[in-house]
Structure 1
Amino acid sequence: MVLGRPWTGFEAVALQEATRKSVREFAAHLGVEMTTVANWRAGLSSVTPRPLTQELLDTLLVQVGAEVRERFEQILAEGEQALGSRRSPTRRAAVSVQAEPSAGYDVALMSRLDEARTVIDRTLAASTIGTAMVDLMEERAAGRVLAYTRTPPTEVLSTVLPDLLEVQSISTQRQPAAVQSRLSEVTAVLGLLIADALMKLGQSERANYWYGTARMAADDTANRRLRARVRAQHAMLPYYYGSPEQAVMLARSAQAQLPETADDATALAAAAEARALARLGDADGADLALTRARQHIDALGDAVSDEAFRFSEKRLLLYQSGTLTNLGRTAEARSAQERGLRLYRGSPGIVVDPALIELDAAICHALDGAVDEACELATRVLTTLPPEHRTTIVMTRAAAVVDAIPEPGRGRRTVGELRRLMAAGAGEPR
């Protein structure tokens, strides 16, 4: 390794292994998120850390002793395959739950989710509350975050719930303060994944309760980035199913957690504020919020993965598309849509975000009076999107296409076909 030469995920993980630090300890030492280190471990040489992070790795390599550097060089010499064999299989132990395929919603699963949330809320309210076991839980949570954007929401619920219940069972017993804080962080992250999955499925009331659980857990820690993240993600719920005013309030609350700080959470929150303000018709406010989001993205540099909670250039374009579409600035919206779809082609496993961008494009067609083009595009999106990802949040945006069609054009054949497709339940999740 030559200092100043770009690091890959493999080299970063090799340094972690050489220092004999856990994922959490190594992330804390560098000042990065645990999911960043987990992403390096998942992608190895295919991942390139951000420039600032590479400087941190350079500095750490200089600071470690000769013995650590020798282990680091040995791991590099052995290669990635040998690195994989070094990992103990016991550290990957997890409660295995098979996702249950179903037509519509699994009532029993929803009931279990409600019961779990109630118990967790009581535990947190009572001052929630092994280090090795907490390490395992944190690594498993980081893995869930990495897989989330490619996992159907019903599967997320089935796989994340056992992890949460395991954390909760330990939290019911009084733990040292440092352990309690870590358990609350894991609870917040897993609770946030459940809340977001429920939101996608249209379970808005349950989602709102779970966002509250995640917020309570995050506020039980000193992690302001996590507090901001929970509030920023929560802002999505009222945007799609409730009041844009509430979405603005939550987005601003998220930014207040990290004032004047460039972070994935503040970038998301600023973009969410812009989109909600646009729906309220506040064009000036929306433009200012979008500018803040752009400044944060420029300061962060582009994200190296599609993991949940990362806010990258292409995700900014998704929000910019929604903002400009809500304002009726269709020419500007199309430019953002084209750029966003071009970037998403590099992530074929991500299907919902580009579908939402295309539905924005369909709304723009409708606003411009191109009714047939609007309906044909919306129909194509709904029929080609995998059934497990055709969730309520997608259908809500598809309904907005019909709403954008001027009254005289709603009798056209293509409009009727789109209505029938939606009425037939083409968007029902499985």
Structure 2
Amino acid sequence: MVSVQQWTGREARALRSALRMSTRAFADHLGVALRTVAKWEKLSESTQPRPDTQAILDTALARADAAVHGRFETLLTGAIQRTRGRADYETWTEDIDRVIVCLSRQNFTFASSLLNRWLGPHDPRTLDDKGLYLYGRSLVLLGDLQRDQGAILGPLSARHSYSNAHGLFTALDIPRRTAQIELSLAVVNEMSGQLGASARQYEELADDERLSGRDRARARLWVGTALSKEGNNDYATRAMSTATREFEDLGEPEDWSVAQQKLALAHRGVGDLTRALNYIGIARQSGTVDSPMQRVRLDTAHGHILLSDSATRNDGLSVLDRAAQVATQYGLSHQLRSIEGIRRSYGDPPAALSR
């Protein structure tokens, strides 16, 4: 026979359900006020009946038949599991917030441990919608981590994590999250060298109403990024300039600063080093986020521009050295490969990066 050491509203509700009584009938059965039963129902495990009422509940349970005891045990077990699940979801949500902070600081080791704490033990097939939502968000953050570390292809890659998350959010019918992942997948395509495909994806997403205004402006900026890498700098500059105005209208100073950096590289691509240096100077002065990733990106762009002029080549190599050291320190493999590619294009051996 199941027994209760300490009655709370949760156990009282399970007993009422096991007896298959309404709240009024249960109150009459116990000889307590209807408002007392209503309080138990509302507050669940956060309220405890008075000692004399605890005894009344003990008696009601003891007098119940075996079928009631069986139902009571099943209902109580389910209620306890749901309570634990809610507590787990709260902790999971808090850990997701911690991961976001860790990724902004390129603290990949701690971010990975927090994500594996939840992705490892949980099978998405056993989760309810809330659990699936948190699982999907965790997969997206894992994809962000893998992308920032340069793992963009293969079974343990950003593309794989994003694709799995896309399936979950599609099933949950959350269009905004689904579109955001499509934007991230376009970034992966760009990083893997599929510049034309990524530019087309960005263009479609730049007008996609599922995305926020900020995300649409980012997509437009990244159209320019992909096209600039293909050498189509005129169209790239126009797309970037449009995105820059959108960031200004939206009041997004950090995105606006990043756009200045992208414009600098586009102008370097057409040989306009004066404007390139002007834009990179604005980006360096206006940035509000001082993360290792952004420092590496700014220094890489600045070094690339300086290398383009024989008069500032040594300065450019020095700036790239600094960027490479930070990229190595924080495990930013994709950025390090970009730096090596720039140096090789100017005839400088990658071995210099080890200094």
Question: Scaled by the length of structure 1, what TM-score is found?
Answer: 0.55
1:292 and 2:292 aligned:
no
Q: Which residue of 1 aligns with 2:55?
A: none
Q: Is the 8 A contact 1:231 1:253 kept in 2?
A: no
Distance 1:155 1:331, change over 3 A: farther
Q: Across the two proteins, how many residue pairs are aligned to each other?
A: 267
Q: Please give the alpha-carbon distance, in whole angstroms, between the structure 1 residues aligned to 2:205 and 2:161.
A: 17
Q: Is the 8 A contact 1:232 1:268 kept in 2?
A: no
**Residue among 308, 317, 324 paired with 1:382:** 324
Per the TM alignment, residue 378 of structure 1 is displaced from its structure 2 partner at its CA by 0.9
Between structures 1 and 2, the one with greater helix share: 2
CA deviation digits over 1:383-416, x for unaligned, max 9?
3x274414211212212322442xxxx3xxxx35
Q: Which 4+ runs in 1 deviate beyond 6 A?
A: none
**Residue among 296, 301, 326 paired with 1:360:** 301
Q: Please give the alpha-carbon distance, in whole angstroms, between the structure 2 residues aligned to 1:174 and 1:159.
A: 19
Per the TM alignment, residue 134 of structure 1 is displaced from its structure 2 partner at its CA by 3.6
Q: Which residue of 2 aligns with 1:237?
A: 188
Distance 1:290 1:223, change over 3 A: farther
Q: Is the 8 A contact 1:325 1:360 kept in 2?
A: no
Q: Is the 8 A contact 1:255 1:269 kept in 2?
A: yes
**Residue among 164, 172, 179 paired with 2:125:** 172
Q: Which residue of 2 aligns with 1:274?
A: 224
**Residue among 108, 123, 136 paired with 1:188:** 136
Distance 1:291 1:194, change over 3 A: same
Per the TM alignment, residue 157 of structure 1 is displaced from its structure 2 partner at its CA by 2.3
1:320 and 2:263 aligned:
yes
RMSD between aligned residues: 2.8
Larger Rg: 2
CA deviation digits over 1:186-233, x for unaligned, max 9?
333322221222223232212221221222223233333322321222
Which aligned pairs between 1:259-270 and structure 2 lie closer than 5 A? 263-270=213-220
Q: Which residue of 2 aligns with 1:224?
A: 175
Q: Is the 8 A contact 1:321 1:334 kept in 2?
A: yes
Q: Which sections of structure 1, spanning at least 5 residues, go unmatched?
A: 1-129, 304-310
Q: Which sections of structure 2, spanning at least 5 residues, go unmatched?
A: 1-84
Distance 1:147 1:391, change over 3 A: closer
Which is bigger in relative contact order (C-alpha 8 A, separation at least 6)? 1
Q: Is the 8 A contact 1:251 1:273 kept in 2?
A: yes
Which aligned pairs between 1:20-419 and structure 2 lie closer than 5 A? 130=85, 133-165=88-120, 168-169=122-123, 171-173=124-126, 175=128, 180=129, 182-205=130-153, 206-258=157-209, 263-302=213-252, 312-344=255-287, 346-348=288-290, 350-369=291-310, 370-383=312-325, 385=326, 387-405=328-346, 410=347, 415-416=348-349, 419=350
Q: Is the 8 A contact 1:365 1:373 kept in 2?
A: yes
* Aligned residue identity for 2:147: M
Distance 1:190 1:299, change over 3 A: farther
Question: Scaled by the length of structure 2, what TM-score is found?
Answer: 0.65
* Aligned residue identity for 1:189: R
